Structure 1
Amino acid sequence: MAESAETAEDAVVAEIEKKITKAFEVFDREGNKTVDVREIGCIIRSLGCFPNEAEVQELLDQIEVEDPSGFVHLDKFLPVMTKVLLDERFQPIPEDVLLHAFEALDENKCGYITKEDLVRHLTEGGEPFTQEEMEDMLNVAVDPETNILHYRDYLPKLVID
């Protein structure tokens, strides 16, 4: 009986490792089982985990980065990321919490946030968006004709099923 439980657990781990490897390979431009350390956050998020930048740095501290090249080898990334997925760490924020956050930014309670207000809120404070992150979000979230984010329409793009 214990043998079949072990086999089931091994199968789960094998499936997770396959998923991680597939995501890793998308960013492995040279095909040599390494990625630029700056890509690790994107890989983690592509796997449905949403750590903040400090948490990404903590994970990088657990992974042996091949200094001074700044590359991460799949063999070093795989065990750390497998544990993250098995432990179900960095789960996405529920839709109702995201809605509440947008409503808090919507000072006039009108159902939208202006581009200017959005930029102000997301580039100041504890963990501000980088210029690149801000541009990516604005391109997807803000209506280019009105410069407005209708957050109830944008929420489905943020929620992972």
Structure 2
Amino acid sequence: MAAQADEKESAESLLAETQKKIGDAFDIFDHESNKTVDVREVGTIIRSLHCCPTEGELHDLLSEMEEEEPTGYIRYDMFLKTMTNVLMERKFKPSPEDQLLKAFEVLDTEKRGHLLVDELTKYMTEEGEPFTQEELEEMLSAAVDTEKGVILYKDYAPLMAVDDAS
């Protein structure tokens, strides 16, 4: 019985901690302090919680959170409900570092240990789900080695990975 009570208390503690993280992230973007955020900022909030949904998955999450008549804003109670489920089910977790390295190695067909800016730009804008210009610029600002002018992906992959502890 005591073990069961401890397990319940641990689950409740995890839930409370998760909901606090969600609330803290939401509050940063609640500029009017009225428990709403601009729908355009929800993707940023979700990603700040270490969730990496595709644009399609993000669209699905937004439709789950929006009012029947979309207002352009997402209410905190709807965001909290949806994101609690997402985080507790560990959905949209970022790829681990070794998987990211393998992906870069596949792109590095000449096995140079780096990618050229033009190569990465082409892959990120023409393949799969294309990055927007803003996303691409943000990625390149973090990925490009300023001295060499290339992406040293062995250095960049760890920055993209998120520790499970967070």
2:148 and 2:10 mapped to 1: Cα distance?
Answer: 53
Report how far residue 22 of structure 1 moved.
Answer: 0.2
Match of 1:128 among 120, 127, 130: 130
Partner of 1:106: 108
CA distance in 1, matches of 2:102, 2:22: 32
Name 1:95's counterpart in structure 2.
Answer: 97
The CA deviation at 1:86 is 0.9
**Which of these residues, 108, 115, 118, is aligned with residue 116 of structure 1?**
118
| Secondary structure of 1:93's aligned partner | coil
User: 2-side partners of 1:65 and 1:72: how far apart?
Assistant: 8
Computed over aligned residues only, the root mean square deviation of the Cα atoms, in angstroms, reads 1.8
Is the CA contact (8 Å cut-off) linking 1:37 and 1:65 kept in structure 2?
Answer: no
Given candidates 44, 47, 53, the residue that maps to 2:46 is: 44
For residues 154 and 65 of structure 1, the distance between their equivalents in structure 2, rounded to whole angstroms, comes to 39
CA contact (8 A) 1:66 1:72 kept: no
Q: Separation in 2 of the partners of 1:156 and 1:9?
A: 30
Mapped pair 1:27 → 2:29: yes
Deviation at 1:5, TM superposition (A): 4.9
Q: Give the 4+ runs in structure 1 shifted more than 2 A.
A: 1-12, 64-69, 143-147
1:84 to 77, 83, 86: 86
After superposition, what is the alpha-carbon deviation per residue over 1:72-111, rounded to whole angstroms, capped at 9, x for unaligned? 0111110110011111111110111100110111121100
The letter for the 2-side match of 1:127 is E
SS in 2 for 1:26: helix
AA aligned to 1:47 is L
Tell me what 1:143 maps to: 145
Q: Which residue in the other structure is 1:12 paired with?
A: 14
Larger deviation, residues 117-126 vs 27-36: 27-36
Aligned-residue sequence identity (percent) comes to: 49
- How far apart are the structure 2 equivalents of 1:99 and 1:6? 39
TM-superposed CA distance for 1:10, in Å, is 2.9
Q: Report the TM-score when normalising by structure 2.
A: 0.88
Q: Secondary structure at the match of 1:72?
A: strand
Quickly say closer, same or farther: Cα 1:66–1:146, change in 2 above 3 A.
farther
SS of the aligned residue for 1:29 comes to coil
Shift of 1:30: 1.8
Structure 2, unpaired ranges of 5+? none
